[in-house]
Amino acid sequence: MPPYLKAGDTIGITCPAGALPLTAIDDMCRQLSAWGFKTVIGKTVGTSFHKFSATDDERLQDLQSMLDDDSIQAVLFGRGGYGLVRIIDHIDFTSFQSKPKWLLGFSDITCLLSHVHSNYHIATIHGHMSGGYQPGQHDATSTQSIYDALTGKSAMYQLPQYAMNRPGHASGELVGGNLALLSDLIGTPSDIDTTHKILFIEDIGEYLYSVDRMMWQLKRAGKLTHLKALLVGGFTGSLDNDTPFGMTDNEIIFEKIKDYDYPVYFDVPVGHQPLNISLKIGAEYSIDQNTLTEIFPL
């Protein structure tokens, strides 16, 4: 676990993937200040280069500088989109590995969070980014969960009841993130080991047949075989073809794990939605029927 933050610590904000207007981070910066944190705004916030916030080299340099800067205690990403896979193999984690700091983001940032977990066994935070913290979309639970995760407060969440849930008891290390990224990372140095882990998945704007294909990819790669539990987050804005696929997102997912006996929970408040609770990848969690609790080391 990286050191937890305290008042007066500094959080860097950078955009290693998609572009984000500078004004889009105003609300998050005000919230971080209200919590007593200082902020450093990276050079890639408020700039754009085609689909990205900046060129590959510029995005790499901005992220690298925040990983190496000892005066920055955490890095909060501006947004996801696409682009981290283009620079992940060029990041030097030497300084970060010797002095870990919290990395907080989701969506395309899953590439970085998975890479850090798989290669360095350093915990990261899957949660709202600064660009997603917009007026009219503030969710008190999600916001509080960011502060709790960064400062080491205990986390306990009630899991929604759902007809296809398979309630039960489980405990283990938590891994996961965006389904499309987890599928793409299989066979790469950023691939995650899911054996005896609690896996969570989420996604946005995918065609139903694509969700089916990606779930088959996880299943055929053995990622669903030996789980402690599966948590299915939001699959928002799903698309279908003129000829309907014939199954919902949750039905597609359940089909791939129906023959296993571990607990499964759907509609977990994680993903591209206002209620997006912060979860620590690499931390230990327990599931007791409908309650998810982070287990803090003694």
Q: Which of 117, 151, 185 is the last residue of a domain?
A: 151
Does a structural domain hold residue 180? yes
Q: What CA–CA distance (Å, rounded) separates 112 from 105?
A: 9
Domain that holds residue 29: 10-151
CA 119 to the chain's CA centroid:
17
The one catalytic residue in 173, 202, 206, 294 is 202
Q: Are residues 146 and 205 in the same domain?
A: no
Does a structural domain hold residue 1? no
Domain count of the chain? Answer: 2
What is the domain-level CATH number for residue 282? 3.50.30.60
The one catalytic residue in 107, 130, 210, 238 is 107
What is the domain-level CATH number for residue 47? 3.40.50.10740
Q: What CA–CA distance (Å, rounded) separates 291 from 287?
A: 6
Q: Which of 134, 151, 168 is the last residue of a domain?
A: 151
Does a structural domain hold residue 92? yes
Does a structural domain hold residue 291? yes
Q: Are residues 106 and 187 in the same domain?
A: no
Across the strands, what pairs with 91? none
Q: Are residues 139 and 53 in the same domain?
A: yes
Q: Are residues 182 and 254 in the same domain?
A: yes
Q: Are residues 144 and 105 in the same domain?
A: yes
Mean pLDDT of 90-104: 98
Does a structural domain hold residue 5? no
- 222-227's contacts with Cβ under 8 Å and 24+ in sequence apart are 223/182, 223/186, 223/192, 223/194, 223/199, 224/194, 224/199, 224/256, 224/257, 224/260, 225/195, 225/260, 226/194, 226/195, 226/196, 227/194, 227/196, 227/197, 227/198, 227/199, 227/257, 227/260, 227/262
Which residue, 133, 134, 82, 69, is CA-closest to 112?
82
Active site residue 272: yes
pLDDT tens by residue, 19-45: 999 999 999 999 999 999 999 999 999
* Confidence band for 296, pLDDT divided at 50, 70 and 90: confident
Q: Are residues 176 and 285 in the same domain?
A: yes
- Going by the DSSP 8-state scheme, the letter that residue 8 receives in this structure is T
Q: Are residues 174 and 264 in the same domain?
A: yes
Q: Which of 151, 184, 213 is the last residue of a domain?
A: 151
Q: Are residues 199 and 289 in the same domain?
A: yes
How many residues are present in the chain?
298
Q: Are residues 110 and 215 in the same domain?
A: no
pLDDT tens by residue, 110-165: 999 999 999 999 999 999 998 877 666 667 888 899 999 999 998 999 999 999 99
Q: Are residues 15 and 143 in the same domain?
A: yes
* Confidence band for 6, pLDDT divided at 50, 70 and 90: very high
Is the Cβ–Cβ distance between 76 and 13 less than 8 Å? yes
Q: pLDDT at position 247, please?
A: 97
The alpha-helical segments, DSSP class H, found in the chain are 26-34, 56-68, 94-98, 110-120, 140-151, 179-185, 208-220, 249-257
Active site residue 255: no
Q: pLDDT at position 134, please?
A: 64
Active site residue 196: no
Please indicate whether residue 75 or residue 141 has the higher confidence score (pLDDT): 75
Does a structural domain hold residue 130? yes
Q: pLDDT at position 140, please?
A: 83
Mean pLDDT of 260-286: 96
Does a structural domain hold residue 274? yes
The alpha carbon torsion through 289, 293, 297, 298 (nearest 10 deg) reads -80
Does a structural domain hold residue 267? yes
Q: Which stretches does DSSP call E strand in 127-275?
A: 156-158, 169-178, 197-204, 229-236, 264-265
The one catalytic residue in 117, 126, 128, 272 is 272
Q: Are residues 29 and 112 in the same domain?
A: yes
pTM (2 d.p.): 0.96
Look at residue 3 and tell me whether its pLDDT is greater than 80.
yes
Q: Are residues 54 and 170 in the same domain?
A: no
The greatest distance separating any two alpha carbons of the chain, rounded to the nearest whole angstrom, comes to 56
